[in-house]
Chain A
Amino acid sequence: MAILTPTKDTGASTKTLPTVYAEPGQQVTDDQLRQTLPDIGMNTPFIADYLSAMLTHERCGRHLYRAVEGRTNNPTLREKYGSFGEQTERHVTVLEELIAGLGGNPDYVSPSARAVEAVGTKLVETTFMLDGSLDPMTAEMAMLDAVFLAESADHANWKILAELVDGMPEGATRDAFGRAVEEVEAQEDEHVGWASDMKLRMVKLQAASTTMAQAGAKVEEIVVRIKEWFRE
């Protein structure tokens, strides 16, 4: 089962910095990363940090999908958020297995992973922290925008990983990376493509609608209209 939030109980580790403490048992150094992971002719600690950041992005993505699936008023969006969320959880597992298979700790939280989580936290907050100043349609757009932004970064991550694989020497490590990319990349194409298309459709739909002009429209009425979106 995928770990969505690494903790001390799950075996989380991190690099200590002058301003970041961890107990000795939770600390990881670049030397340890270099010794643990196989030599692929690259900057191994950087690759470990990058994989940790990618994994963190997937974990944040899973949380985001759970959050918006539960809060969207549109059945079509809900269904996609649900299915993409499950696929994203599978991507978490794929990366966890890749890292563990290389001898690493999937619950290692690199400094770059912390930066990614900071973005992920704020991204999910954009879907609810300002709800009071958003009408229901704008709130739907905010949720979709968060998904679009998350998927854009996710898509870029996997594309970058695929290019890194191309530069790796033949062997088991390259094969392991390759299998992960092969399983996930097509789904990432689908996710970002869907989010982009859906954003276009929502913008066009609202641009052609008179609802926004009806300042006095009741929230319940707007929600009913949102539910009707994308009905074929």
Chain B
Amino acid sequence: MPFNPLDEQGIPVEDQLRNWSELNVEPYDKREVHPYTRTRVILMNGIEVESVMFSHQFARHTDNLEIKQKLALNRRIDQQQQKAVNGLNPGDQTPLETTIGYEQVAVDLTSWLARHEPDPMLKQALDFALLEDFDHLYRYANLYDLIDGGDAATLTGDLTEITPGRPTIVEHRHPYDDVRGHFETHTVDPLSRMHVMTIIAGEQQTMNFYMNHGSDWVEPVARGLYAEIAMIEEQHVTHYESLLDPLDSWLKSLVFHEYNEVYLYWSMLQNEQDRRIAQIWELHCNMEIGQLQVACDLLRRYEGVEPAEILPPALPDTPVTFEPNKQYVRDVLASQYHLRTDGIQYVALDQLPGDHRYFKVQETVNAGGTPSEMVIDEERRERSVDYRDETDGANPIPELQQLKAS
């Protein structure tokens, strides 16, 4: 039966405030947790952070007291939701282990969104960045082995392959070449809009996490790797946020945010095997319905727009799902490994003229060594071979295949 959040009662926002013990949730056991439960926690934390930061930005652009107060109330609840979700991460899960979870999110979320994306241009945007995040997973997995002696496959559960993608060293572009064109807000498929909003939030949270955790290590190679990949996440946020149509008003954007949150919590609930965590997704889904109603009332009252005019008649049938995407990633890698960007276009590397700004940026940032290469070099020195989890065979790109131990 179609699920239309506009027809649901949800929990009134005024009733959503929780006490400290409700926010101080029991973390999952990192040895027992399903890898995709971890990724769901990471994604929904990012979704709540985006919601909070969007709301703060909106509040800074109005002095309408009612709107500011309602934003403040919704935002306070979002903050509580963020604490309840992020608190599921256990204290004995190191930042590097969490990082590997972040990159598993990036690979399997991006792949799933791309596989279900109706707009070919948006699919291309997802595929393009997918290969870069896929490579980050490989680099961090090697760092994990190098400095902690850890086996990243125990975290990913062999559900996501670990092997080079588009190498991080070549991902550093001129900022102009990170900006994409955008969808048109009237013609866009509602699913596409939610895909874009979801991936922005996910990538933004990854950017935030690396911005703050890059200094957690004493090892120079780790600090360097975080700094380097954090800069790519900046590129990815630029890349993805430019896909949004800026024509939408603040209030419409607020409604779209709340609607997407309903869709995502509902999605997480459909796939969650951990009953305790499923209860959190269900609670938050009902809370988001209440928050959506507040946003809809504001849109109706202040812009005269009926929310049903801009929202689909029901949520998509298919929940956003974390699942293996191994063959999909391999296919994209095989076909788009050599892709770069030139302005808003995607082009093959050999189509870039020799004096293109890409090469100047490459030369500048990679002068004096590149941490994402150093970590692999050090790993090979220590262990003879680099760390990989290639469950389905060798890397499809010959030049990325593992070197034999000398």
Residues of A within 8 A of B (CB): 4-9, 12-14, 16-24, 26, 62-71, 107, 109, 114, 117-118, 121, 124-125, 127-133
Contacts and interface: CB of A to CB of B under 8 A. Distances in A.
B279 interface: no
A121 B249 contact: yes
A7 B186 contact: yes
Contacts of B303: 63, 67, 121, 124-125
B302 interface: yes
B218 interface: no
Interface in B336-357: 344
Identify the interface centre among B67, B182, B190, B247: most chain A CB within 10 Å of its CB. Answer: B247
B65 A8 contact: no
A128 B302 contact: yes
A185 B64 CA distance: 36
A54 B119 CA distance: 28
A197 B63 CA distance: 30
14 contacts: A7-B309, A12-B186, A21-B119, A24-B120, A63-B305, A65-B304, A67-B301, A68-B304, A107-B186, A114-B184, A128-B302, A130-B62, A132-B63, A133-B63
A133 B62 CA distance: 10
A51 to B, nearest CB: 16
Given A6-B186, A114-B247, A23 B120 contact: yes
Contact of A23 (B119, B190, B305): B119
B57 interface: no
A9 B312 contact: yes
Nearest to B312: A9
A104 B75 CA distance: 44
A121 B61 CA distance: 14
Contacts of B90: none
A214 to B, nearest CB: 21
Given A9-B312, A14-B187, A21-B121, A132 B65 contact: yes
B182 A8 contact: no
Contacts of B186: 5-8, 12, 14, 107, 109
Interface in B308-356: 309-310, 312-313, 344
A20 to B, nearest CB: 5
Interface residues of B, number: 36
A19 B120 contact: no
Contacts of A18: 181, 344
Nearest to A109: B186
B183 interface: yes
Given A23-B119, A109-B187, A124-B304, A5 B309 contact: yes
Contacts of A129: 61-64, 67, 250
B301 A21 contact: no
Contacts of A114: 184, 247
A114 B306 CA distance: 19
A43 to B, nearest CB: 23
Contacts of A22: 119, 183-184, 187-188
A215 to B, nearest CB: 19
B64 A131 contact: yes
B65 A64 contact: no
A109 B247 CA distance: 12
A107 B250 CA distance: 23
A18 B190 CA distance: 22
Contacts of A132: 62-65, 68
Can you list the 3 inter-chain pairs with the closest CB atoms, starting with the nearest?
Answer: A66-B304, A132-B63, A67-B304
A61 to B, nearest CB: 10
Interface in B19-71: 61-68
Given A17-B181, A124-B249, 10 more contacts: A19-B344, A20-B181, A21-B122, A23-B120, A23-B189, A67-B301, A69-B304, A71-B302, A125-B249, A130-B64
A139 to B, nearest CB: 10
A131 B181 CA distance: 34
A19 B304 contact: no
A13 B64 CA distance: 35
B1 to A, nearest CB: 19
B179 to A, nearest CB: 9
Given A20-B182, A129-B62, A121 B309 contact: no
Contacts of A14: 184, 186-187
Nearest to A3: B309
Contacts of B62: 128-130, 132
A208 B303 CA distance: 32
Contacts of B305: 4-5, 63, 66
B118 interface: yes
A9 B122 CA distance: 19
B64 to A, nearest CB: 4
Contacts of A69: 304
Contacts of A6: 186
A131 B63 contact: yes
A37 B186 CA distance: 22
Contacts of A17: 181
Nearest to A64: B304
Interface in B234-273: 247, 249-250
A113 B206 CA distance: 37
A6 B310 CA distance: 8
Contact of A26 (B63, B122, B187, B190): B187
Contacts of A9: 190, 312-313
A26 B118 CA distance: 12
B241 to A, nearest CB: 14
Contacts of B304: 62-70, 124
A124 to B, nearest CB: 5
Contacts of A16: 184
